[in-house]
Amino acid sequence: MEYIEPRFRQSEVRVLLIGLVLLAGILLRQVELVAVGALLALVAVVSSVWGRYAVRRLEYTRSFDSPRLFWGETTYLSISLANRKFLPLAWVQVEDEFPDRQKVELLRGQLGYSHRPNRFILSNLFALGWYERVVRRYPVRGVYRGYHAFGPVTIRTGDPFGFFTAELVIDRVDYLTVYPRIVPLERLGIPSRELLGEIRARHSLQRDLTRVVGVRPYVAGDSRRQIHWRATARTSRLQVKIPEPVTAPNLLIFLDLATFEYPWQGVQPDRLEMAIITAVALASAALEDGFSVGLYANGSLPESDQTLKIAPSRAQGQLSLILDALARIGSFPSLSLEALLRRESRNLPWGATVVAVTSVPTEGLAAGLLRLRRLGRPVVLVLIDGQGGRADFSGIPVYHAVGSEVWRELERVSLG
């Protein structure tokens, strides 16, 4: 845990009153008044020492039964406060900062408002004996995809008489990851058999020209890209490469986080969530069908300044990796999807099918996808909310994912 130096506060009014009582007793020569003032002064000294040591060796921990869950699921948050010293504490106030309650719902307990926007406070009051530990558990439900921060926590305590107060801030943040929901492609209006079947059929015709298993004479209809120039020079006849077939179908999902054509227009949450849910549905269906799936997005994760890139794989944990990344990814694109396609196109596996998922079908994106198609890349476009725009995607298979109404329906469905 990271601590911020405790702040020590005293009740100046009470200290002043003790001083006045002593002064009045001396001036009036009242032994009883002097005795009361002296007793109060002794109490103040004891309270001062008590208050200064009150926050020492206090341990606060926060943990989740499951730090990762799917949208709509519930987990338990456990908070623990331990007093690791001989000095008892009559009162300890703990204020733990929570994320927006529209994103993480506290099912038992009451949240107060924080001074920070879209943040809330869970307040608890404890009384701890020496070497005592108290644990409280709260059910929380993830009601919005995201990487939700809990913390920091502020602890206040002091002497039993209220003369002195100490405050300690533990600058520790824990995260609850809420995955986007996985739904079948058909629920989004995309026929998975048609989309994946066409990709697999086209894939079976692809050849990897970088891996040559032999040469043969040129025949009419062969591509100029297949000509083996060294063999041609050696035999004085046109020879073409015999490439090795691509062994595994690759599906590369390019996710566009933009929900408007211009960044200054902001974010349309429904479109963004539908785009992410669609990308997850594509990845899940393709992995189940034996594809090797990769994911690219024009946004970054909280701890990185690089755009999201997950290399294609069929490994067992690939879907979990994609879900975790899409739960934590930000809401704002750092560059256009067209620019991302242009930057990554040189490094894509040969024969891989590029599937662009966007709710903003711009002319620039159309030009980028058509350029990839002319270079021999299989390309598919998935549009969110059925928006076609004014761009021309002639020759590119286009699928429409229904958006707003499905999103509202999914929000109402409990995962139980």
Annotate 212-260 with DSSP letters as a single string: EEEEEE--TT--GGGB-HHHHHHHTS-EEEEEEEP-S-EEEEEE---SS
Query: 231 falls in which pLDDT band (50, 70, 90)?
Result: confident
Model pTM score:
0.78
Q: Which amino acid is at 177?
A: T
Instruction: Give me the mean pLDDT over the 5-34 stretch.
Output: 62
- Does one domain contain both 236 and 101? no
- Does one domain contain both 108 and 141? yes
Six token digits for residue 288: 């189940």
Q: What is the mean pLDDT of the chain?
A: 83
Six token digits for residue 184: 């079948």
Let me know: does 284 contact 323? Beta carbons within 8 Å.
Answer: no
Six token digits for residue 303: 């701890």
Q: At how many degrees (to 10) do helices 269-288 and 192-204 cross?
A: 50
* Domain-terminating residue out of 196, 220, 245: 245
* Domain-terminating residue out of 194, 224, 245: 245
- Does one domain contain both 72 and 108? yes
DSSP structure class, residue 227: B
Q: What is the pLDDT of residues 321-345, one digit of tens each?
A: 999 999 999 999 999 999 999 999 8
Domain harbouring 253, CATH code = 3.40.50.410
- Does one domain contain both 290 and 406? yes
Distance (Å, whole) CA 179 – CA 324: 7
Distance (Å, whole) CA 193 – CA 357: 18
Kindly write down the DSSP assignment for every residue of 105-161, as one continuous string.
EESSS-EEEPSSTT-EEEEEEEEE-TT-EEEEEEEEEE-S-EEEEE--EEEEEE-TT
Let me know: does 315 contact 289? Beta carbons within 8 Å.
Answer: no
Per mean pLDDT, which range of 25-34, 58-67, 269-278, 341-350 is the poorest? 25-34
**Bridge partners, 23 (sequence order):** none
Q: How many Å separate Cα 173 from the centre of its chain?
A: 14
- Does one domain contain both 167 and 43? yes
- Does one domain contain both 140 and 194? no
- Does one domain contain both 18 and 156? yes
Query: 1 falls in which pLDDT band (50, 70, 90)?
Result: very low
The range of the structural domain enclosing residue 338 comes to 185-204+248-412
How many residues in the chain?
A: 416
DSSP structure class, residue 307: E
CA within 13 Å, CB half, 44: 17
DSSP structure class, residue 346: G
- Does one domain contain both 212 and 264? no
- Does one domain contain both 142 and 189? no
Domain harbouring 34, CATH code = 2.60.40.1510
Owner of token pair 């043969």: 216
**Bridge partners, 175 (sequence order):** 149
Host H or E run for residue 79: strand 74-83
Q: Does position 109 have pLDDT exceeding 90, yes or no?
A: no
Q: What is the pLDDT of residues 281-309, one digit of tens each?
A: 999 999 999 999 999 999 999 888 899 99
What is the bridge-based pairing of β-strands 146-150 and 174-179? Answer: antiparallel
- Does one domain contain both 339 and 392? yes
Is 218 strand, coil or helix?
A: coil
Q: Does position 71 have pLDDT exceeding 80, yes or no?
A: yes
Q: Does position 16 have pLDDT exceeding 80, yes or no?
A: no
CA distances from 242 to 223, 232, 315, 334, 348 (A): 12, 14, 30, 42, 21
End-to-end CA distance of the chain: 35
Six token digits for residue 45: 């000294």
Let me know: does 324 contact 68? Beta carbons within 8 Å.
Answer: yes
Query: 209 falls in which pLDDT band (50, 70, 90)?
Result: low
Query: 207 falls in which pLDDT band (50, 70, 90)?
Result: low
Query: 40 falls in which pLDDT band (50, 70, 90)?
Result: low
Return the pLDDT at 303.
Answer: 84
- Does one domain contain both 65 and 127? yes
Backbone angles phi, psi at 367, to 5 degrees: -60, -40
Domain count, the chain: 3
Q: What is the pLDDT of residues 349-387, one digit of tens each?
A: 877 899 999 999 999 999 999 999 988 889 999 998 755
